[in-house]
Structure 1
Amino acid sequence: MPYVDRGEAKIWYTVQGTGFPLLTLAPGGMRSSVPLWEVAAINPLTAYAGQYQMIAMDQR
């Protein structure tokens, strides 16, 4: 699992697909996490991975 480490913060992210990179912020407000995309009406990580490089990260 890829992580970004900044001091005490450790943020998980994932990359899917190829092409122009798009950053998605996970739904859920203060409790957001990438797995919430799986229950969303549209999961951009799978819907657009054929056209773009989808980058999703958990919010801190």
Structure 2
Amino acid sequence: MAAEGNVSGYIQHHLTNAQMCMADGGLAFNYACKDAGFWTWHIDSLLFSVGLGALFLFRFL
């Protein structure tokens, strides 16, 4: 795949967060959320944070 385009474009595509936002009355993902601003949720960051929080919470109880 990197041979078809430039390498920096391929890397930038795979280093972006999975995003979710409200657009046109429904949920939109990734590139549709480019101009959503503050109300864009980064799904992978949220899942990682909640997972680590749960891990440490139940580890020390």
Q: TM-score, normalised by structure 2?
A: 0.28
Greater share of strand: 1
Name the larger-Rg structure.
2
